[in-house]
Chain A
Amino acid sequence: MTAIERFDHPGEARDSGSVSATRPNSAQASNRNAARFLLGIALPVALAIGWELVVRAGLNEGRLMPPPSRIFQTLYSLAITGELWIHIGATLGRVGAGFLLGVIGGTLVGAVAGASRLSREILDPSLQGLRSVPSIAWVPLFILWLGIFEESKIALIAVGCFFPIYLGVLGAIQSVDRKTVEVGRIFRLTTPQLVRRILLPAILPAYVVALRQGLGLGWMFVVAAEFMGASEGLGYLLIDGQQLGKPDQIIAAIVTFAILGKITDGLLASATAPFLTWQDAFAAKH
């Protein structure tokens, strides 16, 4: 439980950053965004350049902490041999499959638990209990059940994605305002109409946040899954770099993780943005 709570925060922080980046409402706002972007990258860029200079000047040989040029060199050579794309493909495939399963499961179970008090009282205590098990603890069981290949890895990622999405859907349904539902009743909406015209739009903002948190956890758990023994994937690059003493390869893999995580989160955010323009209008005004 503490693990999930702790991991929730980077997701939220990323949240506010990229939402504003995708909302260039006026020239002034985009100028401010550009300034914020530059301020945000100033520190890592300065550190990287500084370290590069330190190593170039011979003050440190950079064996354990290679300079940026050597990391890019490693990335570049991994890329031109095609090796990098194989690893990225394997990792993306696992995250994608696990995330998809987690989304389907979390959404369905969350909707069922949110739909009636009885189903919530049956389902929720068990799920809360399971949620407090650190997901990594399932690994031995998944390996016994599903083998050491893709299935157990995808299952682990799916479990990691499931809980934030389940909680998000359930919480969103429970917090739909009774007063808004009454508006639907006054206009004599049938139950399917009530779901489509009131409930779905009302829970959508919280659902998108839950999806982004789930995806963030998916990236977290893919590394754990690939540590379990993989012959390809970015997690394998990490382990391989450790075993062969190649810190440049480890950092190259970490950088790739960061870039992919950011890109997939941005894609998810911009895919859902058109449905949330009404919220944007609110945020832009304040």
Chain B
Amino acid sequence: MLSVEAADKTYPNGTRALAGLNIQVAEGEIVAVVGGSGCGKSTFLRLAAGLDQPTHGRIRVDNETIVRPHPCVGLIFQEPRLLPWLTVAQNVGFGLAELPRAKRDQRVKDVLRRVGLAEYGQRWPRELSGGQAQRVAIARALAPHPKVLLLDEPFSALDAFTRASLHEHLLDLWNAFKPTLVLVTHDVEEASVLADRVLVMQPNPGRIAAEIEVDLSRPRDRYGTEIEAMKRKILWALDRSLRRDSGEDLSPAAAI
């Protein structure tokens, strides 16, 4: 579904954020990308979203090369980035401008109900809590029914309880629409609870250091021993990837 083929990204300041990155993500799969700061994980996501272009190589979705944001690819940012002058419902319907009004309203209602905010359509973004705002952002990204949904550390600014409840919401939505999910995170618990596969990235230049299959059945118990073991496995791989590269965090630009 999503394939990254020998993608290289060098920023104008000379920072090499990605070096020959190869990633294949199957349809409906949930892949988590973890790594230290400056490992190029956010750069990878921006390339996949079509917000930036690789210097070499290419990114394809459904065999179509991504050169600009693609209708089949949605992106959820680290912050909700709701438009404060639109109501919650208008924010969710933001990407549906080409649909007829009745259909759009129905779609908005449906997706708001799925994130548990059916009653909040007429609220202003200012009136929402952080977790609610991020749920609206998820609803906005899901409303156009993207085949691939990219998530850039979407829960990192939230407290642990809100984060756990949003993980449940995300899995519900995934069950309903079965989109391909690519989740960039620095939270190994998040990766172990959600993902089918975890890619560990390594900085200077950004590349894949390890690939870990998470062959646990869902629903998963986030406090269970299996998840604990998985977290240790990921942490160990992360630790090794960072130790191999002692010049830590030389390229802050790559973290953008």
Q: Which chain A residues have a beta carbon within 8 Å of chain B's beta carbons?
A: 179-180, 182-183, 185-188, 193, 197-198, 201-202, 204, 278-279, 281-282, 285
Instruction: Decide: A182 near B127, CB < 8 A? Known: A188-B68, A198-B83, A278-B84.
Output: no
User: Which residue from chain B places its CB closest to the CB of A183 in the assembled complex?
Assistant: B81
Q: Is B51 an interface residue (CB 8 A)?
A: yes
Question: Which residue from A188, A204, A278, A282 sits with its C-beta under 8 Å from B69?
Answer: A188
Stretch at the interface among B71-79, B110-118, B215-223: B71-79
Bound state CA distance, A209 and B172, in angstroms? 45
B84 close to A187 (CB less than 8 A): no
Bound state CA distance, A119 and B81, in angstroms? 29
User: Which residue from chain A places its CB closest to the CB of B123 in the assembled complex?
Assistant: A281
Bound state CA distance, A285 and B71, in angstroms? 37
Q: Can you name 25 A-B residue pairings with CB atoms under 8 Å? A: A179-B77, A179-B79, A180-B83, A183-B81, A183-B83, A185-B51, A186-B51, A186-B69, A186-B74, A186-B95, A187-B94, A187-B144, A188-B68, A188-B69, A188-B71, A193-B97, A201-B85, A202-B85, A278-B86, A278-B124, A278-B126, A279-B84, A281-B126, A282-B126, A285-B126
What are the residues of chain B within 8 A of A281 when measuring CB–CB? 124, 126-127
Highest count of chain B CB atoms <10 Å: which of A186, A198, A285 = A186
What are the residues of chain A within 8 A of B85 when measuring CB–CB? 201-202, 204, 278
What are the residues of chain A within 8 A of B144 when measuring CB–CB? 187
Question: Which residue from A180, A193, A282 sits with its C-beta under 8 Å from B81?
Answer: A180
Instruction: Decide: A282 near B79, CB < 8 A? Known: A182-B51, A186-B51, A187-B95.
Output: no
Q: Is B34 an interface residue (CB 8 A)?
A: no
What are the residues of chain A within 8 A of B84 when measuring CB–CB? 278-279, 282
Question: Which residue from B69, B126, B127 sits with its C-beta under 8 Å from A185?
Answer: B69
What are the residues of chain A within 8 A of B49 when measuring CB–CB? 186
Bound state CA distance, A279 and B144, in angstroms? 28
- Distance of B213 from chain A, by nearest CB (Å): 30
Please report the total number of B residues contacting A with Cβ < 8 Å.
Answer: 21
What are the residues of chain B within 8 A of A193 when measuring CB–CB? 97
What are the residues of chain A within 8 A of B71 when measuring CB–CB? 188
- Distance of B57 from chain A, by nearest CB (Å): 22
- Distance of B83 from chain A, by nearest CB (Å): 7
CB < 8 Å A-B pair total: 48
- Distance of A201 from chain B, by nearest CB (Å): 4
What are the residues of chain B within 8 A of A279 when measuring CB–CB? 84
- Distance of A121 from chain B, by nearest CB (Å): 20
Q: Which chain B residues have a beta carbon within 8 Å of chain A's beta carbons?
A: 49, 51, 68-69, 71, 74-75, 77, 79, 81, 83-86, 94-95, 97, 124, 126-127, 144
User: Which residue from chain B places its CB closest to the CB of A204 in the assembled complex?
Assistant: B85
Smallest CB-CB A-B distances: 3 pairs? A187-B95, A201-B85, A282-B126
What are the residues of chain A within 8 A of B75 when measuring CB–CB? 186
Bound state CA distance, A185 and B70, in angstroms? 10
Bound state CA distance, A236 and B74, in angstroms? 64
Question: Which residue from B69, B77, B127 sits with its C-beta under 8 Å from A187?
Answer: B69
What are the residues of chain B within 8 A of A198 when measuring CB–CB? 83
- Distance of A155 from chain B, by nearest CB (Å): 36
User: Which residue from chain B places its CB closest to the CB of A200 in the assembled complex?
Assistant: B85
Bound state CA distance, A278 and B81, in angstroms? 15
What are the residues of chain A within 8 A of B69 when measuring CB–CB? 185-188
Highest count of chain B CB atoms <10 Å: which of A179, A193, A278, A279 = A278
User: Which residue from chain A places its CB closest to the CB of B68 in the assembled complex?
Assistant: A188
- Distance of A196 from chain B, by nearest CB (Å): 11
Bound state CA distance, A9 and B116, in angstroms? 46
Apart from A188-B68, A188-B69, what 9 extra A-B contacts exist at CB < 8 Å? A179-B77, A182-B81, A183-B77, A187-B95, A198-B83, A201-B83, A202-B85, A204-B85, A282-B84
User: Which residue from chain B places its CB closest to the CB of A275 in the assembled complex?
Assistant: B85
Bound state CA distance, A74 and B84, in angstroms? 51
User: Which residue from chain A places its CB closest to the CB of B125 in the assembled complex?
Assistant: A278
- Distance of A50 from chain B, by nearest CB (Å): 46
Bound state CA distance, A202 and B97, in angstroms? 19
Highest count of chain B CB atoms <10 Å: which of A187, A188, A282 = A187
What are the residues of chain B within 8 A of A282 when measuring CB–CB? 84, 124, 126
What are the residues of chain A within 8 A of B51 when measuring CB–CB? 182, 185-186
What are the residues of chain A within 8 A of B74 when measuring CB–CB? 186
